[in-house]
């Protein structure tokens, strides 16, 4: 990472609040992976690479770029960037999807609408009976100069359809064929379309260059490192080392002429995460412009001098909106295959014993929101049947918890609660949760295994209680309830689906019905989701606690006009995280950034 002084001779001054915060960030904390320490590259003045094609990744020394032309980001990568394969979804470098490869549509969860991207026209209008017609955008070129065509789109869909190694194969499981003709692709289905999953494909899956991808062996389509990526996106790979990956803006990106988007920076450098104390220091010193790290103590800076004054920091929201946009739901996840968790009264007793507002406040100090009883994110509030919630939700009530506990058959044995070691926010939450459960008579012991061991415990079903957050932003509640009720239950639940192992065939049937219901049939979908919400609240397979924030902090020393909940035209998603940047509205957010005028020092 870069040194704690800025790239100019000017130094950022810290007030006493900032110094106190810097002292707090001593443990590695995150909600997706563990941290890797890294060293700081030197500040320097220049670098060059062709913007017309795509460089191969290298493993040279530290990277140097003109500071006023470079956007520095952090908060996504926890290991060296060595992979630019958009189908290797768990390993590709930050920016692979979004900066290099692009989908047909973007989804805007704030406005609840789809934005035409490599496709044109309204997303819903593509449904023509039991077929889906994609109008492929003209005037788009791959970074090697070849045109992107309907044949590339059809190839990408058929690759997923015919090769289960493709991570999007489940999204096109009901597809019979995808045929290109001129500038359109007609997708036909085997019987009833899988509407929800195919719609997800449209905004989550990358369009691939057939002239390159067809040369990769079928067995390696999702494992090839693809170190010389060729995409349609706004940037190309410049270079990379073990600590950073650098991209360079394309002057001829199609999005500028077609949509009016252009990047005002020439380079984007994404850095491998270091410890929290280093990350916070880099941010406040102006060496990181866009941070997606969870930074312990950042809540103190949100409050210092009215929020941002004197620290050149910006956040997505304000105090009223908890500063951070809600990005995924954190559950207390019981192993329902063993006692006492197989007793619904015990699960409800835990729900009544826990106070989501107190937990969120104690752990995050006002920058994260407590969950509502269904656990559905605020962007899906329109799908929530409030009458179902009012009649069925188990909310914080210690006396009720004790009553439910008395009828649960709980024998007083000590239960374990797992969260990965080093996830400091979750580790703090464990303590609060254990205290609240112990207060009503549920004995809980906190354990903090390694991330890999914790994941193995949940996958294999060898745990009691765990914190989990694999239900994130989406266009409908479908994926949320799929994660809760997916059947059949395997010996190893490796797909992050139904980790709590609830066995409810009726609800799984409802999830499948929702997937096979046309998006235009809102009455039927609302009825299905209302029933799923009721069953969720009555069975309590998971206990929603808080909404993990899309942790975002922007430093305006070099770049300004960051996404904001109060902006009239830039309420975009402020996340470089994989699954966000290439599917939601991060690229439009990046295009809104403007250079901050510099004063002579």
Q: What is the mean pLDDT of residues 259-283?
A: 89
Q: 49-62, pLDDT tens digit by residue?
A: 333 345 555 544 56
| 125 three-state secondary structure | helix
Q: Please say whether the beta carbons of 542 and 519 come within 8 A.
A: no
Neighbours of 59 (CB within 10 A): 11
State the average pLDDT for the chain: 88
**CATH C-level class of 235-323+551-595:** alpha beta
Fold of 325-549: Dipeptide-binding Protein; domain 3 (3.10.105)
Distance in angstroms (rounded) separating the CA atoms of residues 377 and 328: 7
Pick among 3.50.50.60, 3.90.76.10, 3.90.1300.10, 3.30.1130.10: CATH of 113-215: 3.90.76.10
Indicate if the pLDDT at residue 44 is higher than 80: no
Q: Please say whether the beta carbons of 567 and 529 come within 8 A.
A: no
Confidence of residue 231 (pLDDT cuts 50, 70, 90): very high
Q: What is the mean pLDDT of residues 156-180?
A: 97
Distance in angstroms (rounded) separating the CA atoms of residues 247 and 50: 11
Strands 444-447 and 415-418: parallel
Supply the DSSP symbol for 371: P
Q: Which one is predicted more confidently, 415 or 306?
A: 415
Indicate if the pLDDT at residue 307 is higher than 60: no
Q: Please say whether the beta carbons of 277 and 20 come within 8 A.
A: no
Q: Please say whether the beta carbons of 208 and 151 come within 8 A.
A: no
Q: Would you list the domain boundaries of the chain?
A: 113-215, 235-323+551-595, 325-549
3-state secondary structure 135-174: EECCCCECCCCCECCHHHHHHHHHHHHHCCCCCCHHHHCC
Q: What is the DSSP string of 414-474?
A: -EEEE--TT-HHHHHHHHHHHHHHHHTT--EEEE---HHHHHHHHHHT--SEEEEEEEE--
Q: 330-352, pLDDT tens digit by residue?
A: 999 999 999 999 999 999 999 99
- The model carries a pTM of 0.87
Q: 386-409, pLDDT tens digit by residue?
A: 999 999 999 999 999 999 999 999
CB within 8 Å of 237: residues ≥ 6 apart: 54, 55, 56, 57, 84, 100, 228, 229, 245, 246, 247, 248
3-state secondary structure 20-52: HHHHHCCCCCCCCCCCCCCCCCCCCCCCCCCCC
CB within 8 Å of 436: residues ≥ 6 apart: 353, 354, 355, 358, 359
Distance in angstroms (rounded) separating the CA atoms of residues 416 and 370: 23
Q: Look at residue 61 in the predicted model and tell me its pLDDT.
A: 52
Q: What is the mean pLDDT of residues 446-451?
A: 96
| 543 three-state secondary structure | strand
Task: Show the tokens assigned to 430.
Answer: 């464990």
Q: 419-428, pLDDT tens digit by residue?
A: 999 888 999 9
Distance in angstroms (rounded) separating the CA atoms of residues 296 and 315: 15
CB within 8 Å of 303: residues ≥ 6 apart: 17, 319, 366
Q: Look at residue 57 in the predicted model and tell me its pLDDT.
A: 59
The angle at the Cα of 455, spanning 451 to 461, to the nearest 5 degrees, equals: 145
Q: Please say whether the beta carbons of 43 and 64 come within 8 A.
A: yes
Confidence of residue 470 (pLDDT cuts 50, 70, 90): confident
Distance in angstroms (rounded) separating the CA atoms of residues 314 and 561: 9
Q: Look at residue 12 in the predicted model and tell me its pLDDT.
A: 24
Q: What is the mean pLDDT of residues 367-389?
A: 96
Distance spanning both ends of the chain, measured CA to CA:
24
Q: Please say whether the beta carbons of 172 and 161 come within 8 A.
A: yes
Q: Please say whether the beta carbons of 75 and 551 come within 8 A.
A: yes
Q: Look at residue 313 in the predicted model and tell me its pLDDT.
A: 86
Please tell me the least confidently modeled range out of 239-253, 300-314, 518-532. Answer: 300-314
Q: Please say whether the beta carbons of 394 and 351 come within 8 A.
A: yes
Residue 559 CA to its chain's centroid (Å):
23
Distance in angstroms (rounded) separating the CA atoms of residues 450 and 455: 9
Residue 235, φ and ψ in degrees, nearest 5: -135, 165
Residue whose tokens read 């926890």: 78
What is the percent of the chain with per-residue pLDDT over 90, rounded to a whole number? 77
Please tell me the least confidently modeled range out of 89-93, 205-209, 477-481. Answer: 89-93
Q: Look at residue 417 in the predicted model and tell me its pLDDT.
A: 98
Q: Look at residue 62 in the predicted model and tell me its pLDDT.
A: 63
Q: What is the DSSP string of 210-271?
A: HHHHTTS-GGGTTT---SS---SSSEEEEEE-SSEEEEEE-TT-HHHHHH----S-SEEEEE
Q: Look at residue 519 in the predicted model and tell me its pLDDT.
A: 93
Q: Look at residue 299 in the predicted model and tell me its pLDDT.
A: 79
Q: Look at residue 41 in the predicted model and tell me its pLDDT.
A: 30
Q: Rounding to the nearest 10 degrees, give the CA dihedral for residues 338, 344, 347, 351.
A: 170
Confidence of residue 16 (pLDDT cuts 50, 70, 90): very low
Distance in angstroms (rounded) separating the CA atoms of residues 95 and 408: 49
């Amino acid at each position: 990472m870069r040194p704690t002084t800025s790239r100019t001779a000017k130094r950022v001054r810290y007030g006493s609040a900032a110094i106190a915060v810097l002292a707090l960030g001593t443990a590695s904390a995150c909600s997706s992976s563990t941290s890797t320490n890294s060293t700081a590259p030197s500040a320097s003045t220049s670098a060059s690479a062709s913007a017309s094609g795509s460089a191969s990744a290298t493993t040279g020394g530290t990277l140097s770029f003109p500071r006023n032309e470079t956007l520095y980001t952090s908060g996504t990568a926890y290991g060296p960037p060595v992979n630019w394969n958009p189908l290797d979804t768990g390993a590709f470098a930050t920016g692979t999807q979004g900066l290099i490869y692009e989908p047909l549509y973007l989804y805007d969860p704030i406005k609840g609408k789809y934005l035409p991207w490599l496709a044109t026209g309204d997303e819903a209008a593509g449904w023509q009976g039991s077929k889906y017609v994609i109008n492929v955008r003209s005037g788009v070129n791959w970074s090697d100069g070849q045109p992107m065509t309907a044949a590339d789109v059809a190839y990408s869909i058929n690759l997923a359809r015919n090769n289960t190694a493709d991570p999007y194969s489940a999204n096109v499981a009901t597809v019979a064929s995808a045929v290109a003709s001129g500038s359109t692709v007609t997708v036909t289905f085997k019987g009833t379309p899988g509407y929800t999953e195919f719609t997800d494909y449209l905004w989550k899956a990358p369009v691939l260059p057939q002239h390159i991808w067809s040369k990769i062996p079928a067995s390696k389509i999702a494992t090839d490192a693809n170190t010389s990526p060729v995409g349609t996106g706004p940037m190309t790979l410049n270079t990379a080392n073990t600590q950073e990956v650098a991209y360079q803006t394309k002057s001829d990106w199609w999005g500028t002429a077609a949509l009016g988007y252009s990047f005002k920076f020439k380079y984007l450098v994404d850095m491998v995460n270091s410890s929290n104390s280093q990350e916070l220091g880099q941010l406040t010193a102006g060496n990181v412009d866009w941070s997606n790290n969870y930074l312990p103590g950042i809540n103190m800076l949100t409050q210092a001098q009215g929020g941002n004054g004197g620290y050149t920091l910006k956040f997505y929201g304000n105090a009223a909106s908890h500063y951070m946009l809600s990005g995924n739901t954190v559950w207390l996840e019981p192993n329902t295959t063993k006692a006492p968790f197989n007793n619904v009264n015990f699960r409800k007793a835990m729900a009544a014993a826990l106070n989501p507002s107190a937990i969120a406040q104690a752990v995050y100090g006002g920058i994260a929101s407590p969950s509502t009883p269904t656990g559905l994110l605020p962007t899906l509030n329109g799908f929530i049947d409030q009458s179902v919630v009012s009649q069925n939700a188990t909310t914080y009530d210690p006396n009720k918890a004790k009553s439910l506990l008395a009828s649960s058959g709980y024998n007083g044995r000590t239960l374990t609660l797992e969260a990965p070691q080093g996830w400091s926010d979750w580790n703090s939450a464990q303590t609060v949760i254990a205290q609240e459960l112990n207060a009503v008579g549920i004995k809980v012991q906190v354990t903090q295994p390694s991330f890999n061991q914790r994941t193995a415990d949940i996958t294999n079903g060898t745990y009691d209680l765990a914190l989990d957050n694999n239900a994130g932003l989406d266009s409908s509640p479908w994926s949320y309830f799929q994660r809760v009720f997916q059947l059949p239950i395997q010996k190893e639940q490796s797909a992050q689906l139904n980790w709590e192992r609830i066995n409810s065939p009726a609800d799984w049937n409802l999830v499948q019905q929702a997937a096979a219901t046309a998006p235009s049939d809102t009455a039927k979908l609302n009825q299905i989701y209302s029933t799923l919400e009721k069953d969720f609240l009555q069975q309590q397979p998971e206990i929603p606690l808080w909404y993990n924030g899309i942790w975002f902090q922007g430093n305006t020393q070099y770049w300004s006009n960051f996404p904001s909940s109060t902006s009239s035209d830039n309420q975009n998603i402020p996340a470089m995280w994989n699954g966000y940047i290439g599917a939601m509205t991060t690229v439009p957010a990046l295009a809104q950034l403007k250079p901050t005028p510099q004063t002579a020092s």
